Amino acid sequence: MDERLQQFDEKMKKAYEYLLSDYQTIRAGRANPHVLDKIKVDYYGTPTPLQQVGNISVPEPRMLQIAPWEKTLIRAIEKAILASDLGITPNNDGSVIRLVFPELTEERRKDLVKDIKKKGEEAKVAVRNIRRDGNDTFKKLAKQDVSEDEIKELETQLQKLTDKYVKDVEKAVEEKSKEILTV
């Protein structure tokens, strides 16, 4: 691949990967430890990712269990979970915290699918913006004695990259929507 295209490919890939990581945090009725990825716990005055202050396990399909490395962190972990947009109340028995995920209602599933599609559209817009930036960059090459044919070829290759990533985003949206709607 032409090194002039490489940077735009990397940016499009990052937009796509961001969408996938965002989708991992969406709760689908089953317990998934990735829903806790964005939660930060106040660990001696420092916001620390939840995964770094305790062990997260999935003892049952709809339950997450968090065993903090230090028992004194239980209150801080509960506070961080309650402050997050997870919408689940933590239960603790003094040594571990349990998060029980309720079954999703049909209405909640439809709302989640709308959110998934919206995030997918945002990713496609990001990819298209990168294409626009690339085309602008290539047009500036004309002033640097690069032939019109070469610029057209770069623009064609960039369009192919754009189509590939848009198709990948649409596939990810479809798969995540199907996962959410499957009871």
Tens-digit pLDDT profile for residues 156-168: 999 999 999 999 9
Q: Which structural domain, as residue segments, surrounds residue 44?
A: 33-100
pLDDT tens-place string over residues 74-100: 888 888 888 887 778 888 888 899 988
Question: Does residue 4 surpass a pLDDT of 90?
Answer: no
Q: How high is the pLDDT of residue 130? A: 93
Rounded to 10 deg, the angle between the 148-181 and 106-141 helix axes is 170
pLDDT tens-place string over residues 111-128: 889 999 999 999 999 999
Q: Are residues 85 and 126 in the same domain?
A: no
- H helices present in the chain, as ranges: 3-24, 74-83, 106-141, 148-181
- H helices present in 51-105, as ranges: 74-83
Q: Check: pTM over 0.85? Answer yes or no.
A: no
Query: Any idea how long the chain is?
Result: 183
Q: Are residues 112 and 84 in the same domain?
A: no
Which of the listed residues 100, 129, 148 is the one where a domain comes to its end?
100
Q: Which residue has the higher pLDDT, 1 or 21?
A: 21
Which residues, in sequence order, are CB contacts of 134 under 8 Å at separation 6+?
A: 5, 8, 154, 155, 158
Count of domains for the chain: 2
The CATH number covering residue 143 comes to: 1.10.132.20
